[in-house]
Amino acid sequence: MANQQSSSGLSKFGDLKKRLLFLLGALVVFRIGAHIPVPGVDAVALAKVYESAGNGILGMLNMFSGGSLERFSIFAIGIMPYISASIIVQLASEILPSLKALKKEGEAGRKIITKYTRYGTVLLAILQSMGVATFVFQQGVVVASQVEFYISTIACLVTGTMFLMWLGEQITERGIGNGISLIITAGIVSGIPAGIAQLVALTTQGAMSILMAVSIVTGAFLLIYIVVYFESAQRKIPVHYAKRQFGNGAMQGHNTHMPFKLNMAGVIPPIFASSIILFPSTLLGWFGNANVNGWLQKVSGWLQHGQPAYILLFAATIVFFCYFYTALVFSPKEMADNLKKSGAFVPGIRPGEQTSKYLEKVVLRLTLFGALYITIICLIPEFLTTALNVPFYLGGTSLLILVVVTMDFHTQINSYRMTRQYEDLLKGPDMKSLSRK
């Protein structure tokens, strides 16, 4: 019996080990690809161009791609086209009746919607790679002919994005956690050592005081604590199960609760908001030089970090996507119907429509406070960077993604281990002997 328990324990942890090793291998592949350059570019000259303009939109793009943009690697545009395509398809599925009908068809409809998302990813990746190629070519750092450079760049960048999309799906299926979120987090983590080295160098050279450096580090840890605190916050709604009769037997009523997180949308709103702002502002910055009247340059300047227009647009899109994504994943009517069918009710609230209205009211209030919390966390570093004149990119979005995805990854591992333990209990020797009898 001891041998059976030990073998089951080894198989349980062996499967988890395989998933973690697959995740680690996939992230290693991602980091290797982030250092494979696109041919035809003088890397040293391009790095100098990036250093002169890497604190704004380029800095955020570079952060999401894990430093690939700075090196102009095959993953330079990263996974952002896939995220943008997902936004467009999800918005369209709430507007177009045909896509609405597909959502109700279960797994078959989901596969068709996923196919549309992939087609949109290819289209956006082509457009974004053309913009990147135009920007790089205008900097005078290309050592190949224009036609050859455009063809090779578009082919490499689109292929890199599609590979990252496939890699993220493989991580979700064969690894642990959400693959796309983990790829973005790996890109953010890869930039932390360089950021620390830059901070130490600025302090050593006297360009930044020790007090400011300590304040930046202390503020980062304080923000991490605040994010962990608010991500753990829940609103617990009491639920009572009435006593139910089953033939000659009866099931006693019991009390429990439904936990609702303060931030039900997770890191989706800031990622979506960043994607929405990055795409048009980047195109404006790339093609603004070709504008005769200069109005594109003015609009591009308004959408730079620290500008009022950028802050207002960023905050508005975060709030919008908080409500939008919460509405996608949570249906108060469906939850109220499930409670009514199972004989459960919220104390003081009538089952059915009244319960649905009550749950919707609670979720709307939580979403409001959750949206304000996410917006403040994402904008605090923006204000501090401008006020303290920090000479490198410091983003609240990256910090929020890093902390939330790490917490979700830890929860996923614990949930997986608990699931395996329950499966082992169901497959135990006592259950096997009962089944033989």
CATH superfamily, domain at 212-437: SecY subunit domain (1.10.3370.10)
Q: 73: which DSSP letter?
A: B
Could you give the 3-state DSSP secondary structure of residue 234?
Answer: strand
Could you give the 3-state DSSP secondary structure of residue 282?
Answer: helix
In the structure encoding, which two tokens stand for residue 23, read together?
A: 């995740």
Which H or E element spans position 229? Answer: helix 210-231
Q: What is the dihedral of CA 320, 76, 196, 372, to 10 degrees?
A: 0
Q: Which residue's entry shows tokens 């078959």?
A: 108
Exposure class string for 355-371: b at 16+ Cβ within 10 A, else e: bbebbbebbeebbeebb
The residues facing 246 across adjacent strands are 249
Predicted pLDDT at 437:
47
Predicted pLDDT at 434:
45
Q: What is the dihedral of CA 380, 382, 384, 386, to 10 degrees?
A: -160
Nearest to 216 by CA among 230, 196, 233: 196
Q: Residue 3 corresponds to which amino acid?
A: N
Q: State how far the Cα of 65 lies from the Cα of 281, in Å rounded to an integer.
A: 17
Cβ atoms 78, 187 nearer than 8 A:
yes
In the structure encoding, which two tokens stand for residue 156, read together?
A: 């490499």
CATH class, 6-175 region: mainly alpha
Distances (CA, A) of 370 to 92, 222, 363, 384: 25, 18, 10, 22
Domain with CATH 1.10.3370.10 in the chain: 6-175, 212-437
In the structure encoding, which two tokens stand for residue 435, read together?
A: 């089944």
Predicted pLDDT at 389:
61
Nearest to 16 by CA among 417, 423, 429, 421: 417
The residues facing 260 across adjacent strands are 235
Q: State how far the Cα of 173 lies from the Cα of 175, in Å rounded to an integer.
A: 6
Predicted pLDDT at 1:
46
Nearest to 60 by CA among 305, 316, 263: 305
Computed over every residue of the chain, the mean pLDDT equals: 78
Q: State how far the Cα of 235 lies from the Cα of 60, in Å rounded to an integer.
A: 34
Cβ atoms 188, 62 nearer than 8 A:
no
pLDDT (tens place) for every residue of the chain, 437 residues total:
445 444 444 455 678 888 899 999 999 999 998 888 888 888 777 777 766 655 555 666 666 666 677 778 888 888 888 888 887 888 788 788 888 788 777 778 888 888 899 999 999 899 888 888 887 887 778 888 888 888 999 999 999 999 999 999 899 888 888 888 888 888 888 878 877 887 888 788 877 788 888 887 888 888 888 888 988 888 888 888 776 655 555 556 667 888 888 888 888 888 778 777 766 655 555 554 555 455 666 666 666 666 777 788 888 989 998 998 888 778 888 888 888 887 788 888 888 888 888 888 999 999 999 999 999 888 877 777 666 666 555 567 788 888 888 888 888 888 888 877 766 666 655 544 444 44
Predicted pLDDT at 86:
86
